[in-house]
Structure 1
Amino acid sequence: MNPTVEDRVPVLIVGGSLVGLSASLFLGRLGVRHLLVEKHADTSRHPRGRGNNVRTMELYRVAGAEQPIREAASVLAANHGILQAPSLTGEEQEWLFKEIDPGGGLARFSPSAWCLCSQNDLEPVLVRCAREHGGALRFSTELVSFEQDAQGVTAVLRNRETGERSTVQADYLIAADGPRSPVRERLGIGQTGPGDLFHNVSITFRAPALADVVGDRHFIACYLTNPEADGALLPVDNRAEWVFHAPWHPDQGETLEDFTDERCIDHIRRATGALDLDVEITGKAPWHAAERVAERYAAGRVFLAGDSAHEMSPTGAFGSNTGIQDAHNLAWKLAAVLSGSAGPDLLATYEAERQPVARETSARASARSAEHSHPGYVPAPGAGGGRQRGVLTVALGYCYPQGAVVGADPELPVVPEQLRLTGEPGTRAPHMWLRAGGERRSTLDLYERSFVLLSGSDGDMWRTAAKGAVQRFAVALDCYLIGTEPDDDLAPEEGVDWAERHGTTPEGAVLVRPDGFVAWRAEGRVADPEAALAQVFASLLGRD
């Protein structure tokens, strides 16, 4: 029997975990019709992947999802830092770091903050938000096969509950199908990097009395270093529900079946130092830490995102965040090409921008695991181990020296030594607070559905140039004059100079992409703003 043929969709997303669901939300916000398929029957039930960095929360803020995510994460809102100790009951205790944002300095750079929300709590929020914005999500549905040609991708899907097959035709396919990505394998895309780093078994358990042992040490994770029973302890609700990551050594012949309930209970008791602790094992799931990056991020009309494109050590929670940011980068570019405002060459910049970020970030994640002596991780001799500075530069300060940017310094490091958010092309646009009609908003709130051109009170020539660009390229472009004059659109907070903050002069302008990265900057007055802006858009959009 031939599978039924459904209506064509512009984008098919394969994989309904954090990255796939985020891609659905971002595409839906941009008005791009799409279908997401996920082979599992529901979202993740196992607590994992809990660290959402400030850049990810900025993206969710603009997409309208930050508040419901923080509500879902409220039970762990008071948890900070990583503790390292031989046990919870001994005197020897060391905070690897005690506060995520000591002194509250992050507020200078962002309107958002880090958020500790486990994947099992975050994914249902993303499902609701994605569906609210038109996302068609099908669980218990797997990709059987796909073919592509110059016109699009034809995919065969199977409902795992009924066995029914259907065919979907899409312009583009996003593979967010995990580290063992069948799509990546089907495309024959290889991977580079050290490979497997270590293996753990994640054990969920109930132990109400453990809260008394932990006391007021409300950590994100505690690395327990007893050589006879090491591992990582993570709170789920700070009361009765917990997770323990126990090292697993399959290379030594150890199997998952070896992790019996009795062994897990004994291991948890010895690791915590609470030898009489009443423990009820509620679940077990293996996971593998690796450092790998795909050799290519795309093949024709198929794009890799998240773990299918890169794997990273879990220390620092860089992996899921990098994947979510992949999806955001790709979403606006797909929307621009599908709308006809950009040529297909824009999509080539996805790999040019995101692959270097993954390579640099995955190396930093492994180094962080060495620094923190992550249980189960034995780095190669001479690798890592030193104090890693500038974690915020990895999370927020990564740059695009090449890609859909004009005037970026090609020598700009992908992850700088110091956080530089000063309006340089290829960097995340600076955050500053603005007021309009009594409403306070961040500059970052302006960037989502269009390019944005910022200029000063005397920027009428830039406003005229923006109108010309819209007419010529049919591109979504908003122009804002920032200042204190009656005709200005937005007013900065007292004492803040928008031009200085963006590295330009009052006569200059800054063009920001829909994803909040600076696309181009005019540091001062130009002879012909309309011609200059037209040339920039022709380059950015791959248009004549």
Structure 2
Amino acid sequence: MNEVRVPVLIVGAGVAGLACADLLAQHGVESMLVEKRREAFVYPKARNITCRTLEILRSLGLGDQVHAVADGVTSMMLKPTLNSPSAEPAMDVDAIFAVFDGLSPEPVAQYCPQSHLEPMLLNDIRRRGSRVRYGTSLVGFTEKPDGVTAELSSEVGSQTVHADYLIAADGVRSPIRTMLGTGTSGYGALPIFVVFIYFRAPWRSLVPELGEGDAIQVRNPDADGIFLVVEGDRGMFITTYLPERGESAEQFTAEHCRDILVAAIGEPMDVEIIEVAPWQPYERVADQFRTGRTYLVGDAAHTMPPFKAGGANTAIQSAHNLAWKLAAVHHGIAGPGLLATYHDERYPIGRFAARQSLIGPPLALLKLDGTSPGLAAGEEAPLFTMVLGYQYHSAAVASDATPPGTVTFVDELTGQPGTRMPHIWLPRDGDRVSTLDLIDSGFAVFTAGDPAAWTAAAARVAATFGVEVTVHALGDDGAAHTGLGAGGALLVRPDDFVGWRTETLPSDPETALRQSLSAILDR
């Protein structure tokens, strides 16, 4: 039997698994990613990504590609029928996202569907030298103190893979989670089905201005859904049905789907139904994101309905949190205790994001009884809280007395330990650069005032720890934004989160920095 050894085996090549592989490769860790599908996803699901996710893709060097996909995409319009001359914005996007102005070097949210994002990540993974194999399934695995042995199966035969770590990115029903015996909590299956109708018709002649990525919502007594472009005259219409009204998937025959589409289009048209794919949203979170040497990411860890675009964004951000920690332990920079902080930090966020996906106006159409946990409208948090305003508490946040696994929230980002480093424009070589661009894949110290003392301390500590530590002066605006006194500093982790803060210059900066890094890295 063919055998191979690799530092990390990743099962599932959705956006979560692909992001894990690419981020690990960025940190110099080889992985093998396997996927039972035969190809990358080709339909435009998981369309919108937030500024925080864009920042992560920016750090991978994929920002320009994402912006090119989004170029020319307009706001979604609402019409009674596709051929109707009347239209109005489906939502006031500017009002929704106004609170994010100036908080990121990236747009607040941008269109980049799974059909574009998966190939983008796939190409980057292969460029960095890691392996991705489609048409390959996990048969089973066993774990020992020093690693995981997995059995794979494909058309070319069986293979045994020995890995230091296993990442389960294998979806909402996660066979790996089941094999581990890891429980879940949450609402479970929602009493609604989303139906994706893939079709071919000359429909775009009615909306010649519609570009790839644009969407039109149609609402009339006979059709309620959203038109999306797939490619050429191929399109996708997204609608829903409710079992409580006696509706079922069996009703969505090709003939019934043609009737829905003609009603949505507003005039007779020759429509070919390519595929009908019902999908039931879930709200379910694993009780543990880590078991031994196995880690859950994406839907395997935290499944949520799409009503607040939380799924793919939360998945990629969890991958970002996990990747640098696995890399630090793999390279001998950190002790194994660092890996426990993945669950401590990301479980509360996954739980929070999933619950928030069950709250708000989109849920009105479900007609839920209002008695289940997490469904009360009064619990709805501001969008800023879900995207940027959360604060980690774990052993990887130095000098934090709050119990690990707790999550708190802030109204603004000013460099509080456990929060995402604030975006501040700093002058560089006649131009300007974001503080987030200066973090790269190592640690960064941002200081108010003369950075000389911190520069000398960082050089000595970096040599001792074998880790990159860069030092950057915040300038007057940055010092004012963070509220740091003269010589005060922020130590920022490779995932852009503040790991330690000192208000003023310590009497011995080197010792203070050494102690903080030791705490974060479990040294």
Q: TM-score, normalised by structure 2?
A: 0.90
User: Does structure 2 retain, via aligned residues, the 8 Å contact 1:209–1:278?
Assistant: no
Counterpart in the other structure of 1:142: 137
Map 1:56-205; keep pairs closer than 5 Å. 56-74=53-71, 77-81=72-76, 83=78, 95=89, 97-99=91-93, 106-113=100-107, 114-159=109-154, 161-162=155-156, 164-197=157-190, 198-205=192-199
User: Does structure 1 retain, via aligned residues, the 8 Å contact 2:212–2:230?
Assistant: no
Say which is worse superposed, 379-388 or 175-184, in terms of deviation.
379-388
- Extract unaligned runs of 5+ from structure 1: 484-495
Change beyond 3 A, Cα 1:247–1:121:
same
Distance 1:190 1:212 in 2: 50
Distance 2:50 2:90 in 1: 18
Say which is worse superposed, 335-344 or 427-436, in terms of deviation.
427-436
Whether 1:318 aligns to 2:313 is no
Say which of 455, 476, 485 aligns to 1:463: 455
Map 1:380-395; keep pairs closer than 5 Å. 380-381=369-370, 383-384=375-376, 390-395=382-387
Whether 1:352 aligns to 2:350 is no
Shift of 1:306: 0.3
Distance 2:302 2:368 in 1: 19
User: Does structure 2 retain, via aligned residues, the 8 Å contact 1:57–1:112?
Assistant: yes
Q: Secondary structure at the match of 1:366?
A: coil
Counterpart in the other structure of 1:247: 240
User: Does structure 2 retain, via aligned residues, the 8 Å contact 1:82–1:219?
Assistant: no
Counterpart in the other structure of 1:491: none
Q: Secondary structure at the match of 1:315?
A: helix
Counterpart in the other structure of 1:342: 334
Say which of 372, 375, 378 aligns to 2:367: 378
Change beyond 3 A, Cα 1:395–1:169:
same
Instruction: Indicate the percent of aligned positions where both proteins have the same amino acid.
Output: 39
Distance 2:387 2:315 in 1: 12
Change beyond 3 A, Cα 1:132–1:273:
closer
Whether 1:539 aligns to 2:519 is yes
Counterpart in the other structure of 1:489: none
Change beyond 3 A, Cα 1:506–1:207:
farther
Once the two structures are superposed, what CA deviation does each residue of 1:163-189 show, in whole Å capped at 9, x if it has no partner? x00111111011111111110000001
Amino acid at match of 2:24: L
Shift of 1:325: 0.6
Q: Secondary structure at the match of 1:402?
A: coil
Say which of 35, 40, 49 aligns to 2:37: 40
Say which is worse superposed, 199-208 or 351-360, in terms of deviation.
199-208
Shift of 1:10: 0.8
Distance 1:401 1:220 in 2: 40
Q: Secondary structure at the match of 1:399?
A: strand
Distance 2:385 2:205 in 1: 34
Counterpart in the other structure of 2:3: 5
Counterpart in the other structure of 1:208: 202
Shift of 1:261: 1.3
Counterpart in the other structure of 1:490: none
Change beyond 3 A, Cα 1:400–1:227:
farther
Aligned residues between the structures: 517
Shift of 1:461: 2.2
Q: Secondary structure at the match of 2:274?
A: strand
Distance 1:25 1:535 in 2: 31
Q: TM-score, normalised by structure 1?
A: 0.87
Amino acid at match of 1:344: P
Distance 2:408 2:389 in 1: 6
Once the two structures are superposed, what CA deviation does each residue of 1:55-74 show, in whole Å capped at 9, x if it has no partner? 11110001101111222344
Shift of 1:100: 5.2
Change beyond 3 A, Cα 1:391–1:96:
farther
User: Does structure 2 retain, via aligned residues, the 8 Å contact 1:96–1:372?
Assistant: no
Distance 1:451 1:460 in 2: 17
Say which is worse superposed, 85-94 or 467-476, in terms of deviation.
85-94
Change beyond 3 A, Cα 1:355–1:107:
same
User: Does structure 2 retain, via aligned residues, the 8 Å contact 1:80–1:218?
Assistant: no
Change beyond 3 A, Cα 1:180–1:44:
same
Amino acid at match of 1:135: S
Change beyond 3 A, Cα 1:264–1:208:
same
Shift of 1:95: 4.5
Say which is worse superposed, 344-353 or 203-212, in terms of deviation.
203-212
User: Does structure 1 retain, via aligned residues, the 8 Å contact 2:40–2:119?
Assistant: yes
Counterpart in the other structure of 2:418: 426
Amino acid at match of 1:41: R
Cα RMSD for the two superposed structures: 3.0
Counterpart in the other structure of 2:494: 514
Amino acid at match of 1:132: R
Q: Secondary structure at the match of 1:25?
A: helix
Change beyond 3 A, Cα 1:205–1:374:
farther
Distance 1:98 1:280 in 2: 34
Say which of 11, 16, 21 aligns to 1:19: 16
User: Does structure 1 retain, via aligned residues, the 8 Å contact 2:169–2:298?
Assistant: yes
Amino acid at match of 2:282: A
Distance 1:101 1:60 in 2: 25
Distance 1:297 1:435 in 2: 40
User: Does structure 1 retain, via aligned residues, the 8 Å contact 2:289–2:347?
Assistant: yes
User: Does structure 2 retain, via aligned residues, the 8 Å contact 1:88–1:214?
Assistant: no
Once the two structures are superposed, what CA deviation does each residue of 1:359-417 show, in whole Å capped at 9, x if it has no partner? 1111111113xx03576x33333645579663233122222133511245739984637
User: Does structure 2 retain, via aligned residues, the 8 Å contact 1:210–1:277?
Assistant: no
User: Does structure 1 retain, via aligned residues, the 8 Å contact 2:211–2:229?
Assistant: no
Distance 1:253 1:142 in 2: 37
User: Does structure 2 retain, via aligned residues, the 8 Å contact 1:142–1:157?
Assistant: yes
Counterpart in the other structure of 2:272: 280
Once the two structures are superposed, what CA deviation does each residue of 1:306-349 show, in whole Å capped at 9, x if it has no partner? 00001111012110110011111000000100011101110000
Shift of 1:305: 0.1
Counterpart in the other structure of 1:500: 480
Counterpart in the other structure of 1:405: 397
Once the two structures are superposed, what CA deviation does each residue of 1:214-244 show, in whole Å capped at 9, x if it has no partner? 97899965555546543x2132269844322
Q: Secondary structure at the match of 2:390?
A: coil
Shift of 1:90: 7.4
Change beyond 3 A, Cα 1:372–1:237:
same
